[in-house]
Amino acid sequence: MKRNLLILSLFLLVLAACGPRNPSATVNGHVYGPWGQPLAGVRVQIADRPLATTAADGSFTVDGVTTPYRAIVEFASDEYAVFDGLTTTEAHFYRPQAFGGSPPQATVEGSLTGTAAGRKASVTFASAKGFGSEPLSSQAGSTPYSLDAALPDTTATGRLYALEWTTDAGGNADVFTGYAASGELTLVSGGLFSGQDLALDPAPSTHDLTVSLAAPSGDYDLYAFIASLRPWPAADRGLSIGHTSFTAPVPVPATVRSPNLPSARTELVLLVKEAGGTNVTGGVWTNVPATETSASLIVPARPQLLAPADGATNVGPGAAFSWTQPAEGLAAILLSTGPVSLIGFTAGTEFELPDLSSFGTSYGAAAAYSWAVLHFRLEGTAAADDLVREGGGSGLLSRLTFPLLSGLSLDGGDGHAVVSAERGFTTP
């Protein structure tokens, strides 16, 4: 009997040894500034491996990593970004200040011909790797323009697009009267590209687009509704051409005018503020074919913070933070006001405060911090690895920040971003 038990035990041990395992891997990556410029001398910790420091091209390599893993990136001695649940062996980290510094730029100049006095117009450069826009007040016959195009990769090939419209008594688009698109244009940073004239063709007919709007009344008040047009290919990046906006009181439903351009998309953005407050606390956006006649926007509920309690003390490395997940998406926990600024990305609803002692950093003694959770969903960003794919971090930040700040997006698609109420805690 004892012999049989011994054999069974040995057999189970062999099965355990042969069972599923996460083998160690080599993680190669890069660290970039907000606009994609490589950052040298940045320290990165992958899982429990020794710190790596980025080379002149922003690259680093870490061996012996078991997946899934946590990555901590030190952008400054008091500024850290944390990424939980990563499995990729190619990780690209972007500094999470959406618009720190300025990207390389090129200037494009020309005239928009066929315009009429008293109308509104806009000229936009759209491409996969650059963008720029210039709103205009049309003049009779010809309207000059000059736009600065942002070029994060220092060069971009795209097209110029122009749109003209009349306005109603509220200043919003009424009838779209002219449309133009250029041939391919390659811009290089620092360059001046003059003589880029565009001749307006008559725009197709205009129709009404009715948009239903909804948000949990206990969480939010409606703050603003914006409609804009994206007449370029879906894969291209560009500032949507804003033509209609309503601020509180926002009409429900909202009716906007849209041109019957078969290849264009109308972008719709609803911004909300905290109930009874003044600050924007979230938004939702969608893109529909410009020929559509109806659409809807529904803002999800705010995340509810669970732990630690507001005013908690002795909160230090290893402390567990948790919250509710209001909808499908990812989360970013934001720590501020203390000696260290930290943003942590996760696909879950829990986050363990990292120990930063390997960087020679502490959270400070008896230091007061504020924390909140930003919940977001973006097209093409469903898992933690999507946050660190090449171009993903830059796209993430711009796609979140542009709609919330301006009501316009760079990349189109659908998404939402809502932030919780704020809590405080004190370190030991």
Taking only the tens place, the pLDDT of each residue in 322-342 is 999 888 889 999 999 999 999
d(CA 424, CA 404): 24
d(CA 415, CA 380): 10
Q: What is the pLDDT of residues 49-59, one digit of tens each?
A: 999 999 999 99
> pTM, whole model, 2 decimals?
0.89
What local confidence, expressed as pLDDT, does residue 80 receive? 95
| Higher local confidence (pLDDT), 93 or 408 | 93
Categorize the per-residue pLDDT at 191 as very low, low, confident or very high, splitting at 50, 70 and 90: very high
Asked if the domains at 23-94 and 105-202 fall in one CATH topology, the answer is: yes
Q: What is the pLDDT of residues 365-389, one digit of tens each?
A: 999 999 999 999 887 788 889 889 8
pLDDT exceeds cutoff 80 at 86 = yes
Which CATH architecture group holds 23-94? Answer: Sandwich (2.60)
d(CA 230, CA 207): 16
Q: Select from 203, 206, 298 the least CA-distant residue to 255.
A: 206
- C-alpha torsion sign, points 221, 227, 233, 239: negative
d(CA 183, CA 197): 11
Peptide bond into 38 cis (omega under 30): no
What local confidence, expressed as pLDDT, does residue 407 receive? 62
DSSP 266: E
What local confidence, expressed as pLDDT, does residue 148 receive? 95
d(CA 298, CA 37): 36
Which element (helix H / strand E) includes 15? helix 2-18
What local confidence, expressed as pLDDT, does residue 399 receive? 57
Instruction: Answer whether CATH 2.60.40.1120 is correct for domain 105-202.
Output: yes
Structural domain boundaries of the chain? Answer: 23-94, 105-202, 206-298
Name the range with the highest mean pLDDT among 267-281, 292-306, 412-426: 292-306
- 413 SS3 class: coil
Under 8 Å CB-to-CB from 233, ≥6 apart: which residues?
none
Under 8 Å CB-to-CB from 271, ≥6 apart: which residues?
222, 223, 224, 225, 226, 280, 282, 283, 403, 404, 407
What local confidence, expressed as pLDDT, does residue 98 receive? 47
pLDDT averaged over the chain?
89
Q: What is the pLDDT of residues 127-180, one digit of tens each?
A: 988 889 999 999 999 999 999 998 887 899 999 999 999 999 999 999 999 999
For 21, counting Cβ atoms within 10 Å of its Cβ (0-12 exposed, 13-18 middle, 19+ buried), the class is exposed
Categorize the per-residue pLDDT at 61 as very low, low, confident or very high, splitting at 50, 70 and 90: very high
Q: What is the domain class of 206-298 according to CATH?
A: mainly beta
